[in-house]
Amino acid sequence: MSTHDTAPGASTTTATGAARIQQHRRYLMCRPEHFTVSYTINPWMEPANPTDTALAVQQWQKLYDTYIELGHEVHLIDPIEGLPDMVYTANGGFVIDNVAYGAKFRFQERVPEGPAFMDWFRANGFEVAEPVEVNEGEGDFLLVGDTILAGTGFRSTGDSHRELAEVFGKEVVSLNLVDPRFYHLDTAISVLDPVEGPGGVERANIAYLPGAFDERSQAILAERYPDAIRVADADGAVFGLNSASDGLNVIISPRAKGFEAQLRERGYNPVLVDLSELLLGGGGIKCCTLELRR
């Protein structure tokens, strides 16, 4: 299969007549020049298993090249030696309307990343809101239409959800993660249509893994997103939901076969990019991709 089947700016129409329209994205990424697994802060990390930094860089480059080929804009933050998880830029903050809410990491190994990302935001013209509460950025905060879905249970605290609402003045919906394999919200939810469609009609929709959430959160998701794609555990377990969508093209793991078929059925164009080496650190496509909303 080719890297992607649909040209930038293109659209498709689903069987029900709904249009899937590609929208331009701005992303922040970090080359994994110092990638390794030297500590354990999630169930995926096994320091005893060898990692291949050159392969990690090669796979990351494929993701970067895919975004460029699809017509998106990618900015880079310089990697810092001793911070191997900086490649997972999604955790570095949460950005809406040129305001960057900074990250405050739970684990000491990642704490220095917070100031590094905030320095980058400032240097690149963003207004920075410094966090008081523990949060891990777009790993746990997802913008769906005009609503922010916010995860808690493993990394970001519930107090950060209140802080988030104060910073952005938007509705924040708290969701509780209960499966340690899916410790960030972006491992259990993929935002497929994050913005308004033609004529100002909101078409926000998601895909999610029901079993990653407690019963209350499952009920919230079912009520708010009745048309959501519900993904099987087999696809969630290969980080299939840790994906990036531009409204038409959805970049996913090639191992998420069921999710790939579900996306095609809904009129999306799955783009397969293998980040298996970076999964050894507990991160995938979305983890390596922070959206910069100007």
Grade residue 180 by pLDDT with cuts at 50, 70 and 90: very high
Grade residue 19 by pLDDT with cuts at 50, 70 and 90: confident
* pLDDT(55) > 60: yes
> What's the pLDDT score for residue 264?
97
> What's the pLDDT score for residue 2?
35
User: Which of the residues 4, 30, 72, 287 is marked catalytic?
Assistant: 287
Grade residue 123 by pLDDT with cuts at 50, 70 and 90: very high
Residue type, 189: I
- The answer to pTM > 0.85 is yes
> What's the pLDDT score for residue 1?
33
What are 205-233's pLDDT values in tens digits?
999 999 999 999 999 999 999 999 999 99
* pLDDT(139) > 90: yes
Instruction: List Cα–Cα distances, 143 to 7, 147, 192, 209, in angstroms.
Output: 25, 6, 11, 17
Q: Please give the class, per CATH, of domain 20-291.
A: alpha beta
Contact call for residues 46 and 37 (beta carbons, < 8 A):
yes
287 is catalytic: yes
184 is catalytic: yes
What are 250-263's pLDDT values in tens digits?
999 999 999 999 99
Lowest mean pLDDT segment, chosen from 44-53, 182-191, 208-217: 44-53
Which string of DSSP letters, residue by residue, matches 210-260? GGGB-HHHHHHHHHH-TTPEEPPHHHHTTTTTS-EE-SSEEEE-TT-HHHH
